[in-house]
A and B are shown apart, each in its own frame.
Chain A
C-alpha cells in the first residue's frame, strides 16, 4: 500500500468546515483512498472512499487532486461530536488484506 502523510493534529471551530489533508504521492493507479475516524473509546468508523472523482455522502466530502497525489476530507459543518482521530488509508480495492491505519490526524472541534 502507498504511504500516507497526515498532520498530527488540527483544530476547527464548531460550525465551520473542517478540511483534513492527506498526502499520498506514491499512490498507484488501482489504489483507492479511504477515510475512517475513531472517536474516543470507540472502534474506528468508515467515512468515505474514492478513486479519482470527488465523492460526497451524508458524513463528508472527499476531494482528490487530479494527479491523485493528495486528498482532502471535508466535514462541511463540524460539530463537537466530530472530535476524533481521522485516518487516511490508501489501498487496492478488494485486495482482501487488513487495512493499515497509521497514526491519523487528531481533530479537535472547539465551541
Chain B
C-alpha cells in the first residue's frame, strides 16, 4: 500500500492479557516511530527505530512494553499483562532516511486499544 498500515484497527482485551500491535511502514522508510494517545490527550512518544535498531526507547512506560522491528520493515509493539491505563490509540509513523526529510513523519490510522 501507499501509506503506513496498522493492524488491528481496534482491539478489545481483558486486563492481564498480552496484546500485539502491528505496523507496516511505507516501503523504503528506515525510521519508524510508535506513539500513544490517550483520549483527549496529546501524543506520547514510546520508541524510535532506525533500521532494525532502537536508539531511543526512552518513552516506553514500563517493562511490560516492548517493540521489535525485523527486516527494516514491519514492527510489532507488544504489551504484556495489559492494564486499564494502557487503553489508548497507538500510532505508528515512518519517515525517509534522506537528509531534510527525516522529520516528515507519515502516520498510520492507529490501533484503538481498549482494556476492560
User: Could you list which residues of chain A lie within 8 angstroms of chain B, going by C-beta atoms?
Assistant: 32, 34, 36, 41-46, 49, 91, 93-104
Contacts of A41 in B (CB 8 A): 109
Stretch of B12-20, B48-56, B62-70, B71-79 at the chain-chain interface: B48-56
Contact check, B43 vs A96: say whether CB atoms are below 8 A apart: no
Q: A36–B50 Cα gap in the complex (Å)?
A: 22
Q: Which residue of B has the minimal Cβ distance to A102?
A: B42
Total A-B Cβ pairs within 8 A: 56
Q: A45–B108 Cα gap in the complex (Å)?
A: 10
Closest CB of chain B to A85's CB: distance in Å?
8
Interface size class of B (residues with CB under 8 A): 20 to 34
A49-B103, A97-B48 known; A43-B110 Cβ under 8 A: yes
Q: Mark B7-50, 1 if CB is under 8 A from A, else 0.
A: 00000000000000000000000010101000000110100101
Contact check, B107 vs A44: say whether CB atoms are below 8 A apart: yes
**Is B102 at the interface (CB under 8 A from chain A)?**
yes
Contact check, B42 vs A103: say whether CB atoms are below 8 A apart: yes
Closest CB of chain A to B82's CB: distance in Å?
22
Closest CB of chain B to A58's CB: distance in Å?
15
Q: Which residue of A has the minimal Cβ distance to B46?
A: A98
Closest CB of chain B to A52's CB: distance in Å?
15
Contact check, A91 vs B103: say whether CB atoms are below 8 A apart: yes
Contact check, A44 vs B102: say whether CB atoms are below 8 A apart: no
Q: Mark B97-116, 1 if CB is under 8 A from A, else 0.
A: 00110111111111000000
Contact check, A96 vs B105: say whether CB atoms are below 8 A apart: no
Contacts of A32 in B (CB 8 A): 103
Contact check, A96 vs B45: say whether CB atoms are below 8 A apart: no
Contact check, A43 vs B107: say whether CB atoms are below 8 A apart: yes
A46-B104, A93-B100 known; A98-B45 Cβ under 8 A: yes
